[in-house]
Structure 1
Amino acid sequence: MSQDQLLKGQSGLPVDNPTKSYWHKEPSAKLLGHRTTKELPRVADVVIVGSGITGSFAAHFLKEQRPDLDVVMVEAREACSGATGRNGGHCQPAIYASEPHIASFELRNFIYLKGLVEEFSIPCDWHTTSGVHAFYSPVLFKLVRSSVQYLIDEYPDLAANVAVVTKGKQNEDGNSDLEGTPAYLLEGERRELTLDALRVPHAEGAIVQWNAASLWPYKLVAFVLERLLATNDNNEDGASGSFNLQTNTPVTGLSRAEPPGLSSPSGSKPTSIWTVHTPRGTISTSQVLLATNAYTSHLLPQFTPLIVPTQGQISALEPPEKPTVPTDPPLDIKHTFYIEGEPDQPFERDDYLVQRPPASASLIYGGGRRHAKGRGVGVWDDSAVDPAVSWYLRGELGSVIDLSLHHPPSQSPTKEPKKHKPLPKKQDLHPTHEWTGIMGYSKDSHPWVGGVPSSAGGGDGLWLCAGYTGHGMPNAVLSAKAVVDMMYGDEDGEVDLPPEYELTEDRLARSGVLDEVVDVDARGSLYADFGGR
């Protein structure tokens, strides 16, 4: 399908000239331009479309469960060039902002990924830290406090992962009023739980989550893909199947047939044969997994209203101050940050910040979609940045986060909070990189995981794992595991996937009557989590 034949709202293919992401500045020499075989394979057991975190981990789990399979992964651009390679560098479960069983699933994702990084010493700059969610809206902060209180009352194990920090008077220990604070924290750690010490002195309040991390997401995926390719080197006779990565090979369409008697390379007899169409030829297979996230509707037009491409923007910023003495430490903000809400617009702001290791001290700051045309909803082209969003990201950060060179001291044990100097309203920071990325916003805010029925353009052997609504890092890995278990019926390895994520006929029907993504998003990106309840 040519780009000018798209349905209204349907995604096009990834563009050839995307903006340069900070995470792509050190590409893998093995993956850049990689094609495992010069010619596109004509037959495969499984074809995976997409090479981000979902596709790479799906291939990882497939080869773990069925090493005999011939798996082909096709990617429209370079490996991990989509949302995973263009995100904000966070991995953090939404403990208080999700239903408890979904929060548990996201926490399991986080724990699994953290353990994998540690087990294989994956060089992806994984840094486990605490996540500070600073709220600048009294209305929104009241809602999230009630959400945390619900966890304290009903799900204390989950509540142990969060604490609420208010801007009220200090207690007798010199700490701000705290709710849900784990008893195992040391006194010094508790003293750090003040808005001032958290670098958000002017916030209405904050939620601190203990399970958070910053990382270099491209390097995580590159490690997984390189490890998969290495299995080919140890399998010269092909007895254990193969993994074949084909970059710069966009999938332009899918077609399905049911020819009797045709067998896949592993000898199984499929009930359907899928043909994957590309400019370089076709691949026949019995199983196709679309790990296509925002671009899903290009291949499945029926998903045009269900997974909507939405453009986000991020900048890598230089800190405002550098040490005057070379031996002094550079800026270290210690935590990862989400910056939520405005005083008079509770659901309007949803920004996010991590810092690269202090040796480089780059601040990776994303958000500002309210300044983009149409909030970026429906945009699938990541070839340009929005000047209004660039202006916002360069100038906004210093008004909400204390970027002074030295970590602000904890408040002394007095009963009145320390007076704060006002932060500057505008503090222009120099960007070293500015880029956009395309998220897949789901109509019901949940990922779509499972077999695609004929009514939605699918049929036996077509699978989907996509639609993370900007929250893929703590969801994608075990969602990929779940869809692989569905594909090959590994009951022992089944993931406890939230039922809201399952792709069913009933869910498709229910989604048809929901508000459109553009309308929900216009009310604010956090509306579905809190205001829409």
Structure 2
Amino acid sequence: MGGVLSQLYLTLETFFSLTSAYSKLSKRVNTSPGIPIPNPSVPYWTIPPSPIAKHTHDELPEFADVVIIGSGITGTSFARQLLDMYYGGGKGKGKDVDKDKDEDKKPLKVVMLEARDACSGATGRNGGHVRPDSYPEYAVWKKKFGLEEARALVRFRRSHVEEMVRVAEEEGLVEDSQARRVQTYDVFYEKVFLDDMKSRLEVYLEDIPEEKDQWTVYLEDRESIYDLQLSDRVAGVISTTVGVLHPYRFVTGILERLLGSYPESFYLFTNTPCTSISEPIQSDNYIIRTPKGIIRAPHVIHATNGWASHLLEPMRSKIIPVRGVMTAQRPGTSLGLSPTSTTVNGDAGDTQTAGSWRGERSFLLFPGFKELQFDYLTQMPQPSTKLSSSSSESTISSPPKYSAASGELMYGGGFFHGGVLDYNLTDIGNVDDTDWDRGIEAYLSGALSSGVDGGWFGRHWGEEARPEFKGDGAINSSQGEETLGKGRVMKVWGGIMGFSADRLPWVGRLPSKIAGRDSRNKMTEENDEVSSLAAPGEWIAAGFSGEGMVQAWMCGKALACMVLDKDETMLPDSLHITEKRWRRARPEDAM
């Protein structure tokens, strides 16, 4: 009897704990995220900071044609496309544009507002992956949207790999941004889950046969898995080609170029949050309030992802902030050296390793049976690695401004490793990126190399790396060595993602009901100076659900075409924001 009562007590305790947890969660999800918190944790990516990290201007303009809120990858993509297309014919180059070649074209004034330093949100905090993980969700898309729209979603996401590399080339940022193609590996510990994912891949490739030669499945071939330097416990691997880059240097490098190319048209105000937006009374200009003053503008662009519902109250519970954890770690001394690796002397007399895969792979790691239980891992290139984003001889590459990468492992995730309760529901709806979940930090700090045959790489890890070990990723004192850990873990930081209630981004003109303000739909004489733009209104590109690197850039680019009133065909129909979609999206579906 005592045992039954004890079990009943535990059941009731669990029930009330869950009830209390979900009650608090519901309250957070439906509460404004506010503006980003000052003095957030420092990501490894931002050491050293960009020259434009704290860029601002003397005075806030009283009027702008377009105000962009957010300086991450979405806002930067939008600004680049808008300005380069408006002045340069849409080629996207923008380095030597002649803004006077069209005498009838009126000047365009674009203001970008950032609550903290430039690129201080999710873009400057993520894992650097540019990997379109489409095959696990493809069957769901096909059932929900039909064959052609499912294919459109696949093409849209995959286009980011080539697009990011191409943009890095055009901007002369290949070296600084480390933009490159790599081989990626979905690694599974459990064969049952591996078989499930393999079946999903077969369905995907049946409808998209042009990709069949781009995928490899390693199952019972233990020799191949050994050559990949993975743990003996790994059940199998699914592999293809994707991209990686240094997201912070990519974005800040483009912003720096825009400031130089368009000094009279593009204004970046960091540490200048937008505190409120008021609909116009007698004109088509929205009133945008900041601590530095007020700006009037006919177009407002919401590019704040997890913080979007601060200014768009109806989007609360439609875009949900979720806090994640990232780390930068030194690799074991043998990791990246395949059994056939050899040491050779480079052209400049430096020591290089032939056959090394350091900096040439990325991973998605599944330890159990759940799709949402995963880690993600990229590696920065070795100092001697020659970054080549394509075989084209026309690649533009300027000398890097920062210290060379040294094979650092960028490792994040830790989601749901002990189930939903162990994940800690307080990270859902949490926008405090000054801190992070310490339990997840502990997991990430040991998961790569725990035990002789534990961890993801097992016995291939080798001797534990030390700060003095050559090529371990140490940064010299002038660039912030004092902020780095001396052991395996060099840096830990938190970041805020924006999860969409229906798992797809929200892109386009905001209807009045969703904006919570009157949507302007006519052009007055006051704003006729830039009549080539679309009718005034508020616009959004946000809700990337942790996959912004394969969604945000093209969403921002498509949004710029909409504001320029140009034909836009790159965006899948299912990503457009509509009242019907807004009504149907439920946060419980995302959770």
TM-score range, shorter chain: 0.7 to 0.9
1:394 counterpart SS class: helix
C-alpha offsets along residues 174-226 of structure 1, whole Å, 9 cap, x if unaligned? xx7xxxxxxxxxxxxxx9xx22222334222211011x122111100011101
Q: Secondary structure at the match of 2:289?
A: strand
Cα deviations across residues 464-496 of structure 1 (Å, max 9, x unaligned)? Answer: 0000000011111111111112222211xx132
What is the identity, as a one-letter code, of the residue corresponding to 1:321? T
1:12 Cα offset (Å): 2.1
Q: Distance in 2 between matches of 1:375 and 1:215?
A: 30
- Report how far residue 115 of structure 1 moved: 1.4
What's the secondary structure of 2:65's corresponding residue? strand
Letter matched to residue 375 of structure 2: D
Q: Is the 8 A contact 2:503 2:544 kept in 1?
A: yes
**Overall identity of the aligned pairs, in %:** 33
Q: What's the counterpart of residue 549 of structure 2?
A: 473
Asked if structure 2 preserves the Cα contact closer than 8 Å seen for 1:320 and 1:429, the reply is no
2:84 corresponds in structure 1 to 64
Written as runs of structure 1 = structure 2, the 5 A alignment for 1:142-161 is 142-161=195-214
Q: What do residues 222-246 of structure 1 show as CA deviations (whole Å, max 9, x unaligned)?
A: 111011101235xxxx5xxx00000
Aligned to 2:585: 511
User: Residue 531 of structure 2 corresponds to which residue in structure 1?
Assistant: none
Which of the numbers 275, 292, 295 marks the counterpart of 1:283?
295
| Structure 2 partner of 1:103 | 154
CA-based RMSD of the aligned residues comes to 2.5
Paired residue for 2:251, among 208, 221, 224? 221
The Cα of 1:320 is off from its aligned counterpart by: 3.0
CA deviation after TM superposition for structure 1 residue 292, in Å:
0.5
Q: Distance in 2 between matches of 1:372 and 1:405?
A: 27
State the SS of the aligned residue for 2:120. coil
Residues 1:351 and 2:375 are matched in the alignment: yes
Does the 8 A contact of 2:45 with 2:246 survive in 1? Answer: yes
Provide the secondary structure at the position in 1 that maps to 2:580. helix
Secondary structure of 1:43's match?
Answer: coil
Taking a change above 3 Å as real, the CA distance of residues 158 and 143 of structure 1, as seen in their structure-2 partners, is: same
Give 1:423's aligned residue: none
Find out whether 1:501 has 2:525 as its counterpart. no
How far, CA to CA, are the matches of 1:510 and 1:38 in structure 2?
A: 45
Structure 1 residues 6 and 146: alpha-carbon distance in aligned structure 2, compared to 1, 3 A threshold: closer
Distance 2:277 2:458 in 1: 51
Q: Assess, with a 3 A threshold, how the Cα gap between structure 1 residues 113 and 495 changes in structure 2: closer, same or farther.
A: farther
Asked if the contact 2:375/2:411 (under 8 Å) is kept, the reply is yes
TM-score scaled by structure 1? 0.78
Is residue 269 of structure 2 the alignment partner of residue 246 of structure 1?
A: yes
Distance 2:501 2:29 in 1: 17
Gaps of 5+ in 1: 171-175, 177-190, 261-271, 407-427, 521-533
Matches within 5 A, 1:94-493: 94-99=133-138, 100-122=151-173, 123-166=176-219, 168=220, 170=221, 194-200=224-230, 201-210=232-241, 212-233=242-263, 238=264, 242-260=265-283, 272-321=284-333, 329=353, 332=358, 334-342=360-368, 345-359=369-383, 360-370=406-416, 372-374=423-425, 376-398=427-449, 399-402=455-458, 404=460, 430-456=488-514, 457-458=516-517, 459-460=519-520, 461-491=537-567
Aligned partners of 1:161, 1:252: CA distance in 2, in Å? 47
Contact 1:92 1:213 in 2 (8 A): yes
Q: Is 2:166 the partner of 1:92?
A: no
Query: Matched residues in 2 for 1:468 and 1:485: separation?
Result: 20
Secondary structure in 2 aligned to 1:337? strand
Cα offset, 1:354, TM superposition: 0.9
Q: Distance in 2 between matches of 1:480 and 1:333?
A: 28
Instruction: Determine helix, strand or coil for the equivalent of 2:194.
Output: helix
User: In the aligned structure 2, how far is the partner of 1:244 from the partner of 1:443?
Assistant: 33
Shift of 1:42: 1.3
Q: Give the direction of change, closer, same or farther, for the CA distance of 1:307–1:383 in structure 2 (3 Å limit).
A: same
- Taking structure 2 as the reference length, the TM-score comes to 0.71
Task: Quickly say closer, same or farther: Cα 1:381–1:516, change in 2 above 3 A.
Answer: farther
How many angstroms apart in 2 are the aligned matches of 1:146 and 1:126? 31
| 1:34 has 2:58 as partner | no
Could you say which residue in structure 2 is the equivalent of 1:73? 112
Q: SS of the counterpart of 1:130? A: strand
Q: Matches of 1:7 and 1:333 in 2, distance apart?
A: 38
8 Å contact from structure 2 (residues 41, 494) kept in 1: yes
Q: CA 1:161 to 1:322, structure 2 compared with 1: closer, same or farther past 3 Å?
A: closer
Residue 429 of structure 1, CA deviation: 6.3
- C-alpha distance in 2 between matches for 1:128 and 1:333: 10
CA gap of 1:70–1:403, structure 2 versus 1, over 3 A, is farther
**2:409 partner letter:** L
Distance, in Å, in 2 between the alignment partners of 1:209 and 1:467 is: 26
Conservation of the 8 A alpha-carbon contact between 1:151 and 1:159: no
- With over 3 angstroms needed to count, the CA separation of the structure-2 counterparts of 1:318 and 1:66, relative to structure 1, is same
State the Cα distance separating 1:405 from its structure 2 match. 5.7
User: For the residues of structure 2 that align with 1:199 and 1:499, how far apart are their CA atoms?
Assistant: 42
Q: How far is 1:22 from its partner?
A: 0.4
Q: Distance in 2 between matches of 1:125 and 1:279?
A: 36
Partner Cα separation in structure 1 for residue 31 and residue 414 of structure 2: 22
Measure how far apart 1:33 and its partner are: 1.5
1:294 and 1:438 in contact (8 A); partners too:
yes
Residue 44 of structure 1: SS of its match in structure 2? coil
Structure 2 residue 41 is matched with structure 1 residue 19: yes
CA–CA distance in 1 between the matches of 2:28 and 2:280?
24
Cα deviation 1:435-454 (Å, max 9, x = unaligned): 01000001000000011111
Distance apart, 1:88 and its partner CA: 0.6
Task: Write out per-residue CA displacement over residues 259-318 of structure 1, whole angstroms, 9 at most, x where no aligned residue.
Answer: 14xxxxxxxxxxx32111111111100000000100001111111101000001011112
Asked whether the 8 Å contact 1:33–1:78 carries over to 2, the reply is: yes
Total equivalences in the alignment: 444
Q: CA 1:110–1:7 in structure 2 vs 1: closer, same or farther (change >3 Å)? A: closer
Change in CA separation of 1:341 and 1:159 when aligned onto 2, cut-off 3 Å: farther
Give the aligned residue type for 2:507: V
Per-residue deviation, 1:401: 2.6
Indicate the residue corresponding to 1:411 in structure 2: none
Task: Supply the AA of the counterpart residue of 1:63.
Answer: L
Change (3 A) 1:508 1:403: farther
Alpha-carbon distance between aligned partners in 1 of 2:275 and 2:565, rounded to the nearest angstrom: 29
Amino acid at match of 1:10: S
2: distance between equivalents of 1:6 and 1:47? Answer: 28
